[in-house]
Amino acid sequence: MNTSFIDACRKKEPEHTPVWFMRQAGRYLPSYRKIKGDRPVISVAKDPEAASQVAVDAVAALGVDAGIIFADIMLPLEKMGVAFKIEENIGPIISNPIRNESDVDALRTIEPETDLEFVYSGIDLTLQKLDGLVPLIGFSGAPFTLAAYMIEGGPSRNLEMTKAFLYSQPDAWKTLMRKLTKMVECYLDYQVKHGVAAIQLFDSWVGCLSPGDYERFVLPYSRDIFSSIDRVPKIHFCADSSALLERFKETEPDVMSVDWRVPISQVWERCGDSIGVQGNLDPVLAMTGGKEMVKQSREILHQARDHPGYVFSLGHGVLKETPPENLRQLVQLVHRGTTSRT
Ligand code: CP3
C-alpha cells in the first residue's frame, strides 16, 4: 500500500508529497465518458460496478496517491424526500425546494445502510479492484452546503435565500441542520465501516458567510460530525475560505482543504503548524498547463516544504476541459520534487 496520503494526513513525514484531485473521475477522462455513455451522472453513482470502475480507472490513469469513491453529495437527499436532477454544466436542480418549517419537518429520516446500499456496495467493489494499491477516500456534503442546495433549488451565486432562511427562521434552520448532521454522521460512519481510509466533508459554498454567521449557524454542526468520526483522518473542504480559516479550523478536522484564494503558507501562519493542509492550485492552471502551471505548482510546494502534513491538490474540482496529460505531469512534478526529503 502506498501510505504517503495517510502519512501526510497524520503529519508523519511521507515518502513523497501525496497528490490526488477532487473530481479526478469525471468527464475530462475518456475512460469515464465511455462508461458513463448517455446516462446521467447519478445513474453511474447508483451502479456499483460502473462507479467502482470509474474511480479505479482515474487512479490508474493519473498515478495519484489516493482514490475517491464515485458518488455525489446529492445522493442522500432523494431518500429524505428531496427530488433532484443534475443538469449538465449547471449542477443540481431541486423540484421541491425547502422554504419553511413544515418543509423541514416533512424531511424523512433515512437509514443510509439500506437506503443508500449502492454507495456501500460501490465502496466494497472499489476496494476490491484497488487491491491495496492506494487508500480510498469517502465523502459527504456538509450540512450547510446540502441545506443551501435544498433551499435555493439550484446553483446560486450569493445564496441569498439560504441566508434569508437562517436569519428569518432560525428555529427551522436549527432543525434542518440537526437532521442533516445526523444523516451525514450515519452516512460517513458506514463508509468508514466499509473500509474507506479517510473522509472528506465538502462545505463547498459556505465561504459566502461572514465569520460570525459561520460560527453561529454552521460551526457546531460540522464540529459534531468530525467529533463523531475517530478512526480515520478527516479533511474539510471549503471554497473561498480565506475569511473563515480560523473558525473553519475550530471544526477540528485533521486537514483543511483550501482554494487558490489563500496562499497555502498563510493557513499555517493563521492556524498553527499542527494543522494539515490540502490544495490549492487553481483548476484553471491545471486546465491551461504549460510553464505557468509548473511555476505556480513549484511555488506551492516551496511554501509547503517544511510541513509533513501537506497534500497537493487543486483548489476545487478538475474542470472538464482539462487534458489528462496535465494532471499526470502534475503528479510527476510533485512526486519528483519531494521524494528527496526522506
Ligand atoms: O472523482 C470524483 O471526485 C468524483 C466523485 C464526485 C462527484 N461529485 C461526481 C460528479 C464528488 C467528490 C462530487 C462532489 C460534489 N458534487 C460536490 C462537492 C465538490 C465541489 O465541486 O464543490 C458538489 C457541490 C456536487 C454537486 C454537483 N454534482 C455539481 C455542482 C455538479 C457539476 C455539474 C456540471 O455538469 O458541471 C455535479 C455533477 C457531477 N458529480 C459530476 C461528477 C463527476 C460532473 C458530471 C459528469 O461527469 O457527468
Ligand 1 atom nearest residue 55's Cα = 1
Which amino acid residue places its CA nearest to atom 34 of ligand 1? 89
What cell was used for 244?
A: 473563515
CB atoms within 10 A of CB 243: 15
CA distance 79 to 262: 37
Ligand 1 atom nearest residue 141's Cα = 18
pTM: 0.97
Residues in the chain, pLDDT under 50: 341-342
Cα 301 from chain centroid?
Answer: 21
CA distance 29 to 257: 24
- Residues 6 or more apart whose CB falls under 8 angstroms from that of 157 comprise none
CA of 74 to the centre of ligand 1 (A): 9
What's residue 342's pLDDT? Answer: 45
- Residues 6 or more apart whose CB falls under 8 angstroms from that of 260 comprise 279, 280, 281, 282, 315
Contact 127 CB / ligand 1 (< 6 Å)? no
What's residue 198's pLDDT? Answer: 98
Nearest to 59 by CA among 31, 24, 23: 24
- Residues 6 or more apart whose CB falls under 8 angstroms from that of 326 comprise 286, 287, 288, 289, 293
Contact 68 CB / ligand 1 (< 6 Å)? yes
What's residue 340's pLDDT? Answer: 53
Contact 56 CB / ligand 1 (< 6 Å)? no
Contact 204 CB / ligand 1 (< 6 Å)? yes
CA of 316 to the centre of ligand 1 (A): 11
What's residue 339's pLDDT? Answer: 82
Which amino acid residue places its CA nearest to atom 17 of ligand 1? 73
Contact 230 CB / ligand 1 (< 6 Å)? no
Q: What is the pLDDT of residues 82-134, one digit of tens each?
A: 999 999 999 999 999 999 999 999 999 999 999 999 999 999 999 999 999 99
